[in-house]
């Protein structure tokens, strides 16, 4: 027997086996990459469905489930599994969990008898009151406002048209405009207040004490123009329970936030007001870490994904 010829034959067989193995592994890597992308897509669907459903919580759990189901089904076809569960973190039905599943087809892996793998993803979202809010407008609302109390709590919706006074608020020299910038000395120019009205304050604001902005600035052209631009939109106003001090030393104690749909504005001398109605809003904010830590439930809530 020719030993060299026999060794060349063995080397050929080993080479073929190695090439086959490498091709198989490469193909499997490509399929694993495809399955990973499929999982990422499912995770995005689960995240979005949970966030969509959470916007109806905790007041309308039935609608929350419908929103989550509808969003997931519309945005990812061919789902083989879709479950929605509601639970309590701080309040009944304030948390929603969505799980979606869908087979991810194999291509090269079929050589190894793997036609598809079952991919699944889950996401949990929670709605809660806010300890801090973003894009707040500098118009304060008294906690004792009738439409915050006449319905066993706030009266929401266009059936409850009302006004918010922006004139004198009970302390000498104090008006219904508040300085949202804790780094300033208690007064803000009309142009600054107008910018906060149009765009909201661009930093997170915590519940606590804020200085009244003295003077009848609400009558200025800048603020009137800013308020006119907000007609037909929702704004977020701080709600206070106490007002202490006078003029530029007056302090509002802010206890929470409330949404308000603006329908009109009237400067009316020292007794200007904003017309509209209170609304439930989902807003950009940092959730409170426990029930009640975000102040009274005034319908303004933040939604976020949770672990």
Query: Which pTM value belongs to this model?
Result: 0.81
Which one has a higher pLDDT value, 269 or 83?
83
Alpha-carbon distance 78 to 76, whole Å? 7
Q: How far from chain centre, in Å, is Cα 255? A: 20
Contacts of 246 (CB under 8 A, 6+ apart): 171, 172, 173, 174
pLDDT value for 18: 61
Q: How confident is the model at residue 55 (pLDDT cuts 50, 70, 90)?
A: very high
Using a pLDDT cut of 90, give the percent of the chain over it: 58
Task: Check pLDDT > 80 for residue 171.
Answer: no
pLDDT value for 104: 66
Residue corresponding to tokens 């689960």: 46
Using a pLDDT cut of 70, give the percent of the chain over it: 81
Q: How confident is the model at residue 108 (pLDDT cuts 50, 70, 90)?
A: low
Name which of 19-23, 131-135, 264-268 the model is least confident about.
Answer: 19-23
Contacts of 127 (CB under 8 A, 6+ apart): 54, 55, 57, 58, 94, 95, 282, 301, 302, 303
Query: Nearest 5°: CA angle at 143, between 203 and 245?
Result: 75
Q: What is the CATH number of domain 3-126?
A: 3.30.1300
Q: How many CA atoms lie within 13 A of 190 on its CB side?
A: 13
Which one has a higher pLDDT value, 3 or 226?
226
| Residue limits of CATH 3.30.1300 in the chain | 3-126
Q: What is the residue-averaged pLDDT of the chain?
A: 85
Strand partners, 227: none
Task: Check pLDDT > 80 for residue 24.
Answer: no
Which one has a higher pLDDT value, 34 or 257?
257
pLDDT value for 25: 53
Phi, psi of 124 (to 5 degrees): -125, 130
The closest alpha carbon to 193, from 114, 252, 137, 153, belongs to: 137
Task: Check pLDDT > 90 for residue 54.
Answer: yes
pLDDT value for 125: 97
pLDDT value for 163: 96
pLDDT digits (tens, 9 = 90+) for 112-151: 555 555 778 999 999 999 999 999 999 999 999 999 999 9
- Cβ contact 221:197 at 8 Å: no
pLDDT value for 203: 96
């Amino acid at each position: 027997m020719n030993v060299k010829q026999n060794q060349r034959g063995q080397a050929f067989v080993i080479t073929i086996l190695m090439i086959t193995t490498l091709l198989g592994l490469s193909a499997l890597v490509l399929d694993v990459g495809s399955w990973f992308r499929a999982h990422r897509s499912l995770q995005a669907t689960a995240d979005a469905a949970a966030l969509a459903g959470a916007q109806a919580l905790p007041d309308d759990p039935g609608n929350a489930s419908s929103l989550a189901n509808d969003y997931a089904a519309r945005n990812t076809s061919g789902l083989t599994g879709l479950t929605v569960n509601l639970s309590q973190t701080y309040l009944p039905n304030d948390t929603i969990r969505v799980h979606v599943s869908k087979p991810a087809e194999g291509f090269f892996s079929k050589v190894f008898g793997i036609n598809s793998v079952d991919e699944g993803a889950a996401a949990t979202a929670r709605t809660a009151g806010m300890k801090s809010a973003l894009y707040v407008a500098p118009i304060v609302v008294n906690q004792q406002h009738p439409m915050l109390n006449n319905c066993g709590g706030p009266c929401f919706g266009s059936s409850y048209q009302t006004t918010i006074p922006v004139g004198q608020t009970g302390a000498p020299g104090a008006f219904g405009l508040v300085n949202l910038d804790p780094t300033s000395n208690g007064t803000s120019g009309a142009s600054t207040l107008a910018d906060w009205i149009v765009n909201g304050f661009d930093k997170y604001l915590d519940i606590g004490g804020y200085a009244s902005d003295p003077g009848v600035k609400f009558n200025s052209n800048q603020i009137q123009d800013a308020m006119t631009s907000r007609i037909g939109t929702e704004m977020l106003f701080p709600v206070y329970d106490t007002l202490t001090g006078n003029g530029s030393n007056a302090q509002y104690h802010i206890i929470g936030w409330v949404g308000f749909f603006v329908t009109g504005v009237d400067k009316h001398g020292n007794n200007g007001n904003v017309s509209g109605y209170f609304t439930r809003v989902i807003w950009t904010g940092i959730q409170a870490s426990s029930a009640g830590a975000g102040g009274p439930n005034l319908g303004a809530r933040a939604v976020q994904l949770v672990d």
